[in-house]
Amino acid sequence: MEVRVRYAPSPTGNQHIGGVRTALFNYFFARAMNGKFILRIEDTDQTRSSEESVKDLYDTLAWLDVEWDEGPEKGGPYGPYIQSERIELYRTYAQQLVDKGKAYRCYCTSERLDALREQQIASKSKVQGYDRHCSHLSPQQIEQYEKEKRPYVIRLKVPVEGKTTFHDVLMGDITRKNKDVSPDPILLKSDGYPTYHLANVIDDHLMHITHIMRAQEWIPSGPLHILLYEAFGWEPPMYCHLPMVMGKDGQKLSKRHGSTAVKDFREKGYLPEALMNYVSMVGWSYDDKTEFFTKEQLCSLFSLEKINKAPGIFDYKKLDWYNGMYIREKSDEQLAQLLLPYMKKASFIPEEPSSEEYQRFLSLIPLVKERLKVLSDVVEMVRFLYEDIEVDDATLFVPKKQTLAQTLEAIQAAYAIMDGREDEEDETIEGLLSEKAKEMGLKVNGIFMPIRVAVTGSAVSPPLFDSIRVLGYDKALQRIEKAIMLIENEVNNG
RNA sequence: GUCUCCAUCGUCUAGUGGUUAGGACAUCGGGUUUUCAUCCCGGCAACGGGGGUUCAAUUCCCCCUGGAGAUGCCA
């Protein structure tokens, strides 16, 4: 039988790490099994669903280069794949359950339910949830309510006796006593929309889903879903509950742990292949040594057996490492293209760069490539090449174990050497500078550091002479001159 | 509170009824380097506790502990 899996997010916010991991595992599994990957949008929460969220979903999957075989925009034999377009279907099936005596209309108001819940909590009652009040309404009462056109919801009749078991590929059999299943969950809301449970079960059945791969937070509702399949008289699919992705503190990953929206990672300059690779490694592994996987490899190597059961903590540092590794694998041209948007956004490069501007930019790629963790790092790294630098504290020029006076001498000597040597080889100039340093009884750094700070504005920078060349030799000399004046001033005043 | 699930270095993980328990990130130290980074070398670091089963348990079983999730007209 053909494997059919789905990713079924609800568009109530931006795609986050956890969701994407679920999407990816489903996708990889489908590809590895030569099956179908289906996308379904579960927008049954009218108040929280939004168009932007749907757009973010599409953007995210496109960015990751994950294509669905059936779903919105693309269609398929079991559409529509957007739940808000299937409302009638859910109503019909819900009514079917009522007709079969498996479900019933409940006319309780939210006020009554709230009061009930409050009272249960206050009295520390062992009984949780709905009291099944409307399941034993008399026909007269029902008739009365209907006549009043009282709004109602449809609730599933959960058996009080017995227990329900479902099989999980990873976890094995999971059993829950029916009395512990949240009593009589709502299937159809008073606005006529289905709840997750109803729509999800109906669609998975109608779309011939074979394996439900979703996060472990759904385990508790597994038995409920089985009960629903039984009520309909349908065969439930296979289950595979994926370990959750946690934050540093072991709690469910959320905004307070840092960025969780894929969009944020994308904007900061994480590469899709790095994010995909890393995210795939939390909760799954191939062997004891392989850590780099292309999408294609994941699509062929992925297997359920290698999925871990324990939840995993999302490690931003390891993601950074992956990203740096992937950045360094790019060619200069590729990286330039990836970096360009950040350069433009910082106004370092115009929207329509001239050939010289582009060439100049291209020439600095080697200077930053092995220093970038995320693409956006480039902005601060090359700022000194595109904007005037501000150094107002003379002590910043002074290397460790060196005095201000020595530093002044050093940089003056450096200026003297560099002035007029624009056309000579960098190696030659560097040689002269280090000789000079030794002559003055300084470490080589004692002369290079002041130059570096003068030219780049920072003690940490890309390679010095490469930077000077990209900046322009003259301009570098001017900056050195300016630095000399600043240090002189400080020496005289201090 | 109740129910369910989970448990190897700080983190992600490999692994086995008998191993010096392996790798990676992080971290620490060293080397290369005019800074930073890259790169190379090395160190620290784990089977939660208690009972069983067994000649032998990190591995199998039970209990405890710890953690997580669920208990919504949200998904």
Give one DSSP letter per residue of A273-328, joined into a string.
Answer: HHHHHHHHHSSB-SSSS-----HHHHHHH--GGGB-SS-EE--HHHHHHHHHHHHH
- Higher-pLDDT residue of A123 and A194 is A194
Mean pLDDT of chain A, nearest integer = 94
Q: Which bases on strand B have an atom closer than 7 Å to a protein beta carbon?
A: 1-8, 10-15, 22-26, 34-39, 67-75
Give the pLDDT confidence score for residue A111 in this predicted structure: 87
Is the predicted pLDDT of residue A127 greater than 80, yes or no?
Answer: no
Q: Which residues pair with A270 in a beta bridge?
A: none
**By percentage, how much of chain A surpasses pLDDT 70?**
100
Distance A317 CA to B29 C1' (A): 21
Nearest nucleotide by C1' position to the A426 CA atom? B34
- Across the range A69-97, mean pLDDT stands at 96
H helix or E strand, kind and range, residue A114: helix A110-122
Quick one: A86-242 is in which CATH superfamily?
HUPs (3.40.50.620)
Give the pLDDT confidence score for residue A492 in this predicted structure: 85
A414-430 pLDDT, tens digit per residue, is 999 999 999 999 999 99
Count of beta carbons in the 10 Å neighbourhood of residue A448: 20
Give the pLDDT confidence score for residue A258 in this predicted structure: 85
* Residue whose CA lies closest to nucleotide B15 C1': A288
**Please, what CATH class does the domain formed by A4-71+245-313 belong to?**
alpha beta
| A148 neighbors A58 (Cβ within 8 angstroms) | no
Distance A216 CA to B70 C1' (A): 10
Is the predicted pLDDT of residue A494 greater than 70, yes or no?
Answer: no
What are the CA-CA distances from residue A131 to residues A81, A88, A126, A194, A199 (Å)? 35, 29, 12, 21, 24
Give the pLDDT confidence score for residue A394 in this predicted structure: 86
Nearest nucleotide by C1' position to the A177 CA atom? B3
Task: Locate the domains of chain A by residue range.
Answer: 4-71+245-313, 86-242, 331-385, 394-493
Question: What is the ipTM for the molecules in this complex?
Answer: 0.95
User: According to the CATH classification, is domain A394-493 in 1.10.10.350?
Assistant: yes
Say if A4-71+245-313 and A86-242 have the same CATH topology: yes
Give the pLDDT confidence score for residue A104 in this predicted structure: 95
Assign domain A331-385 to its CATH architecture.
Orthogonal Bundle (1.10)
Give the pLDDT confidence score for residue A128 in this predicted structure: 76
A316-340 pLDDT, tens digit per residue, is 999 999 999 999 999 999 999 999 9
- Across the range A205-218, mean pLDDT stands at 97
- Across the range A149-155, mean pLDDT stands at 94
Distance A171 CA to B6 C1' (A): 10
Distance A362 CA to B31 C1' (A): 32
Residues of A recognised as catalytic:
255
- Across the range A62-76, mean pLDDT stands at 97
